[in-house]
Amino acid sequence: MLVTLSILLENKPGALMRVTGLLSQRGYNIESLTVARTLDPSLSRMTIVVDVETRLRPHLMKQMNRLINCLQANDLTEGPNVVRELVLLRVRAAQENRTAILKESEIFGARVVDSSVEGYALEATGDSEKLDEFIAVMATYGEIEVTRSGAVAVSLEPKKLRLSPPIPKAQAEPVATHK
């Protein structure tokens, strides 16, 4: 089943690879993945949509949480959450279609980000199904080119973040460096 994971991880080289590695080693295909740094620049927030065997979900989450770079991994699939995606779409528009395209864009709450003789570049956000529909509608007007951001999600229930405190390193006697 498709699950939506939200992962808070250290913003370090290789951290992303550890997360995706857990998925790829099982042969899971990632449907979408977004990652960006958080307010704290030392951390990143990642949203992954991935097809996971239902039975293995809890175990996968435990293994995600076991990653040393991972501060918190949550499965948002079932809890209250908001999932949004952004699509950038270019549509080639003949003269007689241009007004219709603008009307249709309005219905989907899309914005025009570029307009040229060839057509429009449009930007829309929403949940994936809505965007699917938007794309399908636009395709009826002419040739389209689409880039989707993949899902970003936020949980609507508070998640307690438990972080390990610094551990004092027992100071061994200063060692005379051997000459």
Alpha carbon 98 to chain centroid distance? 32
Task: Check binding of 75 to another protein (CB under 8 A).
Answer: no
Shortest Å distance, C-beta 138 to another protein: 40
Choose the stretch contacting another protein; rule: CB under 8 A; options: 55-63, 100-108, 123-131, 151-159. 55-63
Buried b (16+ CB within 10 A) or exposed e, 3-24: bbbbbbbebeeebbeebbebbe
Shortest Å distance, C-beta 6 to another protein: 15
E strand or H helix at 137: helix 128-139
At residue 54, φ and ψ (nearest 5 deg) are: -50, -45
State the DSSP string of 65-93: HHSTTEEEEEE-SSSSEEEEEEEEEEEE-
List 26, 38, 53, 65, residue binding another protein (CB under 8 A): 65
| Nearer residue to another protein within complex by CB, 30 or 121 | 30
List 11, 34, 63, 97, residue binding another protein (CB under 8 A): 63
Task: Check binding of 67 to another protein (CB under 8 A).
Answer: yes
Choose the stretch contacting another protein; rule: CB under 8 A; options: 7-15, 83-91, 103-111, 112-120. 7-15
Q: Whole-angstrom Cα distance, residue 129 to residue 145?
A: 18
Q: Whole-angstrom Cα distance, residue 33 to residue 152?
A: 8
Task: Check binding of 53 to another protein (CB under 8 A).
Answer: no
Task: Check binding of 71 to another protein (CB under 8 A).
Answer: yes
List 39, 117, 156, 163, residue binding another protein (CB under 8 A): 163
Which are the contacts of 113, defined by CB distance < 8 A and separation ≥ 6? 88, 121, 122, 123
Task: Check binding of 54 to another protein (CB under 8 A).
Answer: no
Q: How many residues bind another protein (CB under 8 A)?
A: 34
Task: Check binding of 52 to another protein (CB under 8 A).
Answer: no
